[in-house]
């Protein structure tokens, strides 16, 4: 069976391409052409597309929700990803399902299960079985549950990747770009390596004295991904972990390798996106986006934030939303959210909500700025509702109408033509409506 990429190259428009086109208001042919060129991916494991159930306690298959295809690339709207997952400190499959549900409710287009605690295989399968959005993972994490990273063999690694592909995972973060030659510059950094996958592979390389196994086995890994049509998300093991480390030799050295791997992955028929920073000063974001597009031949860029200042822990959904908007405006296609608990703790459902909303703001603001067709329609509709003091319509059109209603409701002003911010006499919008009537009269005098 052929991957979406191979079919697109062969001129075939798949049902998934049609579905993406329908949601995006562009033609299926545009989707096909962008996919064929490697500038768009539809992360859709064929098993997840068909629906993968999991047996319940009585052995009856449950879940088996089918994936609703999502397109990621510059020709369509900017997408956001929510990272969830249990950790050794806190793990419960049902909590993760709750986070998945909150993520989707608040606009996540994809969800990564980054569990490092609990029963990883069972959690992953449970989430896939219950998700309409693409599920991504970092297969490395499950490899080190069985044995210490330095003892992992090529066979162990391939087996874990194959197992997760067979479970229906839609995209894999594979840190194949971090090479031995990058470790020395990375260790000169303030914060070294802040990617979990990157640091585990660095440890493996250091211990075995060999090159990155993901790089060495890249074509074999690609063959597994091709079989299930899992998409690559080429990981940035050397993304900067603070402003001081941004745009350095380690980061761009790895990016060059990722550029090479984009071509190799495409040659293997595997859809590919590339991951990016991290922590980047605001003035370096445009340059980073331009450089990635050049080096990676237009492969969709999947960025984490970037965070634009390091000194606001507890508010990194905001510090990173600023960077994410700039990134999405200047070249990124896929934004990985950051929650208020970044750098401090495992996100809880409320963090997932706050992170998703912040990132929907970034994605949408960038789409409006990019002038995508119809991007501003809902903004315009809510502005019309504001002008006519139609509060129910405002709540309906607001991204989180519940929250808006609660804030307005706390001062008990009722469904009237003002709010408690200014009170009635000082309300500019109310006055403006009066003036509008007056100017109309005036011009006929």
Taking the least distance from each CB to a copy of itself, the nearer of 92 and 206 is: 206
* Torsion from C-alpha of 287, 289, 292, 297, nearest 10 degrees: -120
Using the rule CB under 8 A, which residue among 123, 199, 231, 288 binds a copy of itself? 199
Residues 63-92 that bind a copy of itself (CB under 8 A): 87-90
Total residues in contact with a copy of itself, by rule CB under 8 A: 115
Taking the least distance from each CB to a copy of itself, the nearer of 128 and 205 is: 205
Question: In the structure encoding, which two tokens stand for residue 358, read together?
Answer: 């912040």
Please tell me whether residue 120 binds a copy of itself under the rule CB under 8 A.
Answer: no
Please tell me whether residue 358 binds a copy of itself under the rule CB under 8 A.
Answer: yes
Using the rule CB under 8 A, which residue among 52, 183, 225, 289 binds a copy of itself? 183
Please tell me whether residue 416 binds a copy of itself under the rule CB under 8 A.
Answer: no
Please tell me whether residue 426 binds a copy of itself under the rule CB under 8 A.
Answer: yes
Cβ atoms of 355 and 82 within 8 Å: the answer is: yes
CA 195 to each of CA 72, 214, 237, 254, 266: distance values in angstroms, whole numbers, following the listed order: 23, 15, 5, 13, 25
The CB-of-166 to a copy of itself minimum distance in angstroms stands at 24
Candidates 71-79, 159-167, 289-297, 375-383; binding stretch for a copy of itself (CB under 8 A): 375-383
- The 3-class SS string of 259-281 reads HHHHHHHHHCCCCEEEEECCECC
Cβ atoms of 25 and 92 within 8 Å: the answer is: no
Query: Which x/- pattern over 321-340 shows residues binding a copy of itself (rule: CB under 8 A)?
Result: xx--xx--x----------x
Taking the least distance from each CB to a copy of itself, the nearer of 248 and 310 is: 310
Cβ atoms of 327 and 303 within 8 Å: the answer is: yes
Number of H helices and number of E strands within the chain? 20, 12
Please tell me whether residue 203 binds a copy of itself under the rule CB under 8 A.
Answer: yes
The CB-of-376 to a copy of itself minimum distance in angstroms stands at 6
Taking the least distance from each CB to a copy of itself, the nearer of 94 and 283 is: 283
Taking the least distance from each CB to a copy of itself, the nearer of 6 and 245 is: 245
Question: In the structure encoding, which two tokens stand for residue 64, read together?
Answer: 């088996």
Please tell me whether residue 344 binds a copy of itself under the rule CB under 8 A.
Answer: yes
The CB-of-248 to a copy of itself minimum distance in angstroms stands at 13
Please tell me whether residue 287 binds a copy of itself under the rule CB under 8 A.
Answer: no
Taking the least distance from each CB to a copy of itself, the nearer of 48 and 408 is: 408
Is the preceding peptide bond at 231 cis, omega within 30 degrees of 0?
A: no
* Torsion from C-alpha of 167, 168, 169, 174, nearest 10 degrees: 70
Using the rule CB under 8 A, which residue among 192, 223, 227, 252 binds a copy of itself? 192
DSSP string, 204-221: HHHHH----HHHHTHHHH
Please tell me whether residue 193 binds a copy of itself under the rule CB under 8 A.
Answer: yes
CA distance 141 to 245: 25
């Amino acid at each position: 069976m052929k991957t979406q990429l191979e079919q697109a190259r062969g001129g075939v428009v798949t049902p998934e391409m049609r579905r993406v086109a329908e949601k995006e208001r562009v033609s299926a042919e545009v989707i096909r052409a962008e996919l064929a060129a490697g500038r768009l991916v539809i992360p859709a494991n064929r098993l997840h597309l068909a629906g993968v159930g999991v047996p319940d306690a009585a052995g009856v298959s449950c879940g088996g929700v089918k994936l609703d295809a999502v397109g990621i690339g510059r020709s369509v709207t900017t997408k956001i990803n929510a990272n969830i997952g249990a950790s050794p400190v806190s793990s419960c499959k049902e909590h993760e399902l709750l986070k998945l549900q909150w993520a989707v409710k608040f606009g996540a287009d994809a969800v990564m299960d980054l569990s490092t605690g609990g029963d990883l295989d069972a959690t992953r399968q449970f989430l896939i079985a219950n998700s309409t959005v693409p599920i991504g993972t970092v297969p490395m994490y499950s490899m080190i549950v069985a044995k210490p990273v330095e003892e992992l063999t090529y066979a162990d690694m391939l087996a874990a990747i194959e197992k997760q592909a067979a479970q229906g995972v839609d995209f894999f973060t594979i840190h194949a770009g971090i090479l031995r030659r990058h470790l020395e510059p990375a260790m000169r950094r303030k914060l070294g390596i802040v990617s979990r996958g990157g640091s585990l592979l660095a440890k493996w390389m250091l211990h075995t004295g060999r090159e990155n196994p993901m790089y060495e086995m890249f074509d074999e890994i690609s063959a597994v991904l091709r079989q299930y049509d899992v998409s690559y998300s080429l990981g940035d093991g050397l993304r900067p972990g603070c402003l001081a480390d941004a745009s350095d030799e380690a980061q761009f050295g790895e990016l060059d390798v990722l550029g090479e791997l984009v071509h190799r992955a495409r040659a293997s028929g595997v859809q590919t996106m590339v991951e990016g920073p991290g922590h980047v000063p605001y003035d370096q974001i445009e340059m980073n986006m331009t450089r990635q597009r050049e080096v990676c031949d237009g492969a969709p860029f999947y960025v984490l934030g970037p965070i634009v200042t390091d000194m606001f822990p507890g508010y990194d959904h905001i510090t990173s939303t600023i960077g994410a908007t700039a990134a999405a405006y200047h070249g990124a296609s896929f934004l990985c959210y950051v929650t208020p608990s970044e750098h401090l703790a495992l996100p809880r459902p409320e963090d997932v909500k706050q992170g998703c909303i912040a990132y929907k703001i970034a994605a949408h603001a960038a789409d409006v700025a990019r002038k995508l067709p119809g991007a501003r329609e809902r903004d315009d509709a809510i502005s019309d509702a504001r002008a006519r003091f139609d509060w129910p319509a405002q709540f309906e059109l607001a991204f989180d109408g519940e929250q808006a209603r609660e804030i307005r409701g706390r001062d008990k002003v009722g469904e009237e033509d003002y709010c408690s911010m200014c009170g009635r006499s000082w309300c500019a919008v109310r006055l403006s409506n009066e003036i509008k009537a007056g100017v109309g009269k005036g011009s006929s005098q």
